C-alpha cells in the first residue's frame, strides 16, 4: 500500500531538490574550500596542490559504482549519503578553529567528496528507476538546471554569507574605490605621509586608508614598471611583517636538452602544422611590452592592538567593474609592532580598458574562523533538512532493490560481472565511440572560448576586458545554456530521443560557426558578441540533452546504476582528451583556423548518428 501511494508523488517534488543537493558538495570541494583556505592564510601552492586532489572521487566513481547497485537500495544510499555529508560539514565547522585545521578539514572534505560521488551514483540510478522514459526526457533539462543553481548558490550565496559574517564579527570594514580615466594623469600617492599621522590615544581602533579614492589613467605602462611597483609593495609589507616571509626558491632554470622525440617527431610535426595550416597574420611590432596601469593604496591602524592578538585584514573587490583588480596585498596581518606603519595594496587596470570605470574594494577583519564555521554549520543543517525531506518524499519504486543479498564472495564476483556485462552490451563499440565523439568540437571550443574573448586583437582575439567576458560568457552564456537544456528536455519528451537525435546533434555542432564568425569579422559591437555566444551556448544546452538521454538509454537493463556511472566516465574522457590538445593546436594555427578545425570536428559527431540503434519509443511521452 505504501509503494502504491509513493508512485503518485510528482517528480517536481523531488527531482529539483535531489539535484540541487547533488551539486552543493561538488561546488564546496571545488570552489568554496579554495576561497576558505585563502581567507585562512594557506599559501596558493598548498591550496592548489591539496584541493585539486578533492576532484579524484568524482573521476574514479565508476570503479565503486557496482557496490551501489549490489548493496542496499538507491533510496537508502541517497538518504544515507546526505546524512553523512551533513555530518561531514558539521565536522569541518568544528575543526576550523583547531590549530591543525588545514590537515583536519582536508581529511573531512575528502570523506565528503567520496560521499558526494556515491550520492551522485545513487541519485542518477534512482532517477532512471523512479521515472519512465518520457519523464526522464522531460526532466533531464530540469535536473541540469537545478544542478547549475547549486553551482550558483555555492559560488555566490555561500561566499556572501561567509563575507557578511566576517564583516559583522570584527571592526568596521575598510573601503576604498578605484576609478579609471582616459586622461593621461594618474593620482600620485605619498604612502610615507600616512605613517607620520598621529591619532589621539583615546581614538577608536579602526583602519584608515589613503587615498580613499584612487584615480588611474588607462594609458598602459611597461611590464617592468608594474613589476617594480609590486616588488616595492611586497618589500614594504615584508619589512614590517604584514605578510609572512616565504622561502623563495631560486628562479634559475635549467636548460633542458631537447629529447629525441621532440627533435625528430613532435617538433617537425608542429612545424608542419604551423607552416601549412597556421594563420598568416601580420605581426604588429611593439616597442615595449605594455600592460595595464597600476597604483598603490596604503592602510594602517589608528590604535595599537593587544599583544599576541593580531588583526588580519582580508581585501577583495566588493562591487564594480571586474576590469579593475587587486594584484597584491590581499591578506595583511596587523600586530602591536607594525600597527603604525603603512601596509601597501596594489591595484591594476585591465590593459584593454580604455574608458571610465569604477570599482570598490573592501577589507574585513572579523573572526574569519568563526565566520566559516558558521557557514559550514549552515551547510550541515541544510543537508540534514535534505535528508529529512527526501526520507519521506522520495518515491519507493518496486525496481529499487539490491541486486545481491548474499555473501561477500558473491558480491566480489558480481562486482566483476557488472563491468563485464557493460562491455558485453550489444553495440558497445558504437556506444563508446558516440560518448567520446559526440562533444568532440565542443570539448575543444570550451577550452579556448574565454581566452579567445580575452586575447588582444593583434593575436586574433576580441580584446574584451575581464568584466565584459564575465557578462558575455558568465551571465548571458549561462542563461542561454540553461534555457537550451530546459527546451531540449521538453522537446525530447514530446517525440522521443530517436526523433530528436539528428536535430540535437546538429545543434551541438553547427552553432560553433558563431565563433568562426567572431574570429573572421572580429566585431566590436557587444550586442553582436553577446548574441553569437548566446546562440552557441543555447545550441550546446539543447544538443547536450540527446547525450544525457542516450547514456540513460544505453544503461538500461541489469546494473543500470553502475553502467550509467561508467558512461559518465567515458563522458569525462571525451571532454578531457580533446581539451588537452586544444591550446597547443590553437597556438600553432591561430584562432580563426582553430575554429575552422572545430567545425571539421562535427564530421565524426554527425557521421556516427546514422548507425545509432535507438528505440523510437524511448523518451516519448506516453498517451493515456
pLDDT in tens, 503-548: 999 999 999 999 999 999 999 899 999 999 999 999 999 999 999 8
E strand or H helix at 177: strand 174-181
Looking at residue 279, its pLDDT comes to 67
Tell which residue, 556, 569, 540, has the closest CA to residue 613: 556
- Segments of the chain assigned to CATH 1.20.1250.20: 1-170+367-411, 425-624
498 in Cβ contact with 598 (< 8 Å): no
DSSP secondary structure string for all residues of 555-595 = T-STTHHHHHHHHHHHHHHHHHHHHHHHHHHHHHHHHHHHH
Residue 350 has pLDDT above 70, yes or no: yes
Looking at residue 2, its pLDDT comes to 41
Q: Which residue has the cell 591619532?
A: 199
537 in Cβ contact with 401 (< 8 Å): no
Looking at domain 425-624, which of 3.90.850.10, 3.40.30.10, 1.20.1250.20, 3.40.50.300 is its CATH number?
1.20.1250.20
Tell me which long-range contacts 592-596 makes (C-beta under 8 A, separation of at least 24): 592/279, 592/460, 592/516, 592/519, 592/520, 593/277, 593/278, 593/279, 594/444, 594/448, 594/519, 595/445, 595/512, 595/515, 595/516, 595/519, 596/516
Tell which residue, 418, 244, 404, has the closest CA to residue 331: 244
Strand, coil or helix: 380: helix
Residue 413 has pLDDT above 50, yes or no: yes
Q: Name 144's Cβ contacts closer than 8 Å, sequence gap at least 6.
A: 19, 482, 485, 541, 544, 548
Looking at residue 509, its pLDDT comes to 92
Q: Which of 443-447, 462-466, 486-490 shows the lowest per-residue confidence on average (mean pLDDT)?
A: 462-466
138 in Cβ contact with 548 (< 8 Å): no
Architecture of domain 1-170+367-411: Up-down Bundle (1.20)
Residue 193 has pLDDT above 70, yes or no: no
93 in Cβ contact with 373 (< 8 Å): yes
Tell which residue, 535, 387, 358, has the closest CA to residue 82: 387
Looking at residue 419, its pLDDT comes to 81
| Most confident listed range (317-321, 494-498, 505-509, 586-590) | 505-509
pTM above the 0.85 mark? no
Looking at residue 4, its pLDDT comes to 42
Residue 519: all three cell numbers together: 574570429
Q: Name 419's Cβ contacts closer than 8 Å, sequence gap at least 6.
A: 66, 566
Tell which residue, 381, 397, 367, 373, has the closest CA to residue 561: 397
Looking at residue 199, its pLDDT comes to 64
C-alpha–C-alpha distance, residues 333 and 252, integer Å: 31
Looking at residue 369, its pLDDT comes to 87
Q: Residue 283 half-sphere exposure, CB side, CA atoms within 13 Å?
A: 3
Residue 36 has pLDDT above 50, yes or no: yes
Total count of residues recorded for the chain: 624
Looking at residue 92, its pLDDT comes to 95
Cβ-in-10-Å burial (0-12, 13-18, 19+) of 22 comes to: buried
Q: pLDDT band for 251, please (50, 70, 90 cuts).
A: very low
Q: pLDDT band for 345, please (50, 70, 90 cuts).
A: very high
Q: Which of 84-93, 440-449, 570-579 shows the lowest per-residue confidence on average (mean pLDDT)?
A: 570-579
Q: Residue 20 half-sphere exposure, CB side, CA atoms within 13 Å?
A: 18
C-alpha–C-alpha distance, residues 67 and 293, integer Å: 57
Q: What is the percentage of the chain residues whose pLDDT exceeds 70? A: 86
Residue 43 has pLDDT above 60, yes or no: yes
Looking at residue 64, its pLDDT comes to 80
Tell which residue, 212, 207, 215, 200, has the closest CA to residue 242: 207
Residue 602: all three cell numbers together: 562535427
128 in Cβ contact with 480 (< 8 Å): no
Cβ-in-10-Å burial (0-12, 13-18, 19+) of 224 comes to: exposed
Residue 421 has pLDDT above 70, yes or no: yes
Cβ-in-10-Å burial (0-12, 13-18, 19+) of 94 comes to: middle
* Strands laid side by side in the 311-320 sheet: 213-217, 174-181, 357-364, 311-320, 331-334
Residue 248 has pLDDT above 70, yes or no: no
543 in Cβ contact with 434 (< 8 Å): no
Average pLDDT, the chain: 83
Strand, coil or helix: 100: coil
Residue 193: all three cell numbers together: 605621509
Per the model's pLDDT, the better-predicted residue between 217 and 289 turns out to be: 217
DSSP 475: I
Residue 49 has pLDDT above 80, yes or no: no
C-alpha–C-alpha distance, residues 35 and 49, integer Å: 14
Structure confidence by residue, pLDDT tens digits, 55-86: 888 878 888 878 887 788 899 999 999 999 99
437 in Cβ contact with 443 (< 8 Å): no
Q: Which of 82-91, 390-399, 415-424 shows the lowest per-residue confidence on average (mean pLDDT)?
A: 415-424
Looking at residue 5, its pLDDT comes to 43
Phi and psi dihedrals of 294, rounded to 5? -140, 155
Instruction: Tell me the C-alpha to C-alpha distance, in Å, between residue 624 and each of 9, 15, 618.
Output: 18, 23, 16
Amino acid at each position: 500500500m505504501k509503494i502504491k501511494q509513493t508512485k503518485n508523488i510528482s517528480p517536481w517534488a523531488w527531482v529539483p531538490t535531489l539535484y540541487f543537493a547533488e551539486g552543493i558538495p561538488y561546488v564546496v570541494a571545488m570552489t568554496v574550500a579554495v576561497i576558505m583556505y585563502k581567507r585562512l592564510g594557506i599559501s596558493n601552492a598548498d591550496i592548489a596542490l591539496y584541493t585539486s586532489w578533492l576532484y579524484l572521487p568524482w573521476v574514479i566513481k565508476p570503479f565503486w559504482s557496482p557496490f551501489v547497485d549490489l548493496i542496499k537500495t538507491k533510496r537508502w544510499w541517497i538518504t544515507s549519503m546526505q546524512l553523512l555529508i551533513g555530518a561531514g560539514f558539521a565536522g569541518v565547522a568544528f575543526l576550523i578553529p583547531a590549530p591543525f585545521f588545514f590537515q583536519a578539514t582536508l581529511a573531512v572534505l575528502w570523506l565528503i567528496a567520496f560521499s558526494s560521488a556515491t550520492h551522485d551514483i545513487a541519485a542518477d540510478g534512482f532517477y532512471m528507476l523512479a521515472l519512465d522514459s518520457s519523464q526522464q526526457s522531460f526532466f533531464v533539462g530540469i535536473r541540469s538546471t537545478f544542478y547549475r543553481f547549486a553551482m550558483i548558490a555555492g559560488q555566490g550565496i555561500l561566499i556572501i554569507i561567509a563575507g557578511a559574517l566576517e564583516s559583522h564579527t570584527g571592526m568596521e570594514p575598510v573601503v576604498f574605490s578605484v576609478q579609471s580615466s582616459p586622461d593621461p594623469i594618474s593620482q600620485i600617492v605619498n604612502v610615507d605621509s600616512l605613517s607620520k599621522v598621529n591619532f589621539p590615544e583615546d581614538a577608536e581602533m579602526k583602519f584608515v586608508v589613503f587615498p580613499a579614492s584612487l584615480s588611474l589613467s588607462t594609458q598602459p605602462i611597461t611590464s617592468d614598471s608594474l613589476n617594480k611597483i609590486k616588488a616595492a609593495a611586497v618589500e614594504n609589507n615584508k619589512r614590517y611583517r604584514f605578510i609572512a616571509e616565504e622561502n623563495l626558491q631560486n628562479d634559475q632554470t635549467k636548460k633542458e636538452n631537447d629529447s629525441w622525440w621532440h627533435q625528430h617527431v613532435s617538433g617537425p610535426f608542429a612545424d608542419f602544422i604551423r607552416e601549412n595550416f597556421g594563420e598568416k597574420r601580420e605581426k604588429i611590432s611593439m616597442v615595449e611590452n605594455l600592460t595595464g596601469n597600476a597604483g598603490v593604496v596604503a592602510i594602517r591602524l589608528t590604535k595599537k592592538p593587544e599583544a599576541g592578538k593580531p588583526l588580519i585584514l582580508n581585501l577583495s573587490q566588493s562591487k564594480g567593474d571586474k576590469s579593475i583588480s587587486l594584484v597584491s596585498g590581499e591578506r595583511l596581518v596587523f600586530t602591536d609592532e607594525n600597527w603604525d606603519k603603512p601596509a601597501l595594496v596594489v591595484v591594476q587596470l585591465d590593459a584593454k580598458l580604455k574608458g571610465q570605470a569604477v570599482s570598490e574594494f573592501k577589507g574585513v577583519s572579523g573572526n574569519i574562523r568563526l565566520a566559516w564555521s558558521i557557514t559550514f554549520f549552515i551547510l550541515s543543517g541544510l543537508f540534514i533538512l535534505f535528508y529529512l525531506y527526501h526520507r519521506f518524499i522520495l518515491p519507493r519504486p518496486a525496481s529499487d532493490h539490491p541486486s545481491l543479498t548474499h555473501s561477500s564472495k558473491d558480491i566480489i564476483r558480481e562486482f566483476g560481472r557488472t563491468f563485464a556485462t557493460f562491455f558485453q552490451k550489444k553495440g558497445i563499440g558504437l556506444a563508446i565511440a558516440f560518448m567520446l565523439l559526440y562533444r568532440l568540437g565542443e570539448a575543444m571550443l570550451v577550452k579556448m572560448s574565454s581566452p579567445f574573448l580575452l586575447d588582444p586583437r593583434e593575436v586574433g582575439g576580441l580584446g574584451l576586458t575581464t568584466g565584459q567576458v564575465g557578462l558575455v560568457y558568465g551571465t548571458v552564456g549561462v542563461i542561454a545554456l540553461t534555457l537550451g537544456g530546459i527546451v531540449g528536455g521538453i522537446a525530447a519528451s514530446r517525440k522521443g530521443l530517436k526523433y530528436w537525435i539528428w536535430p540535437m546533434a546538429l545543434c551541438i555542432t553547427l552553432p560553433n560557426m558563431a565563433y568562426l564568425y567572431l574570429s573572421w569579422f572580429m566585431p566590436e559591437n557587444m550586442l553582436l558578441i553577446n548574441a553569437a555566444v548566446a546562440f552557441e551556448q543555447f545550441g550546446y544546452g539543447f544538443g547536450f540533452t540527446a547525450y544525457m538521454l542516450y547514456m540513460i538509454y544505453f544503461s538500461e537493463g541489469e546494473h543500470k546504476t553502475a553502467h550509467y556511472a561508467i558512461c559518465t566516465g567515458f563522458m569525462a574522457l571525451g571532454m578531457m582528451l580533446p581539451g588537452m590538445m586544444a591550446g597547443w593546436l590553437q597556438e600553432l594555427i591561430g584562432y580563426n583556423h582553430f575554429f575552422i578545425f572545430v567545425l571539421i570536428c562535427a564530421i565524426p559527431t554527425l557521421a556516427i548518428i546514422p548507425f545509432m540503434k535507438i528505440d523510437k519509443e524511448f523518451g516519448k511521452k506516453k498517451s493515456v
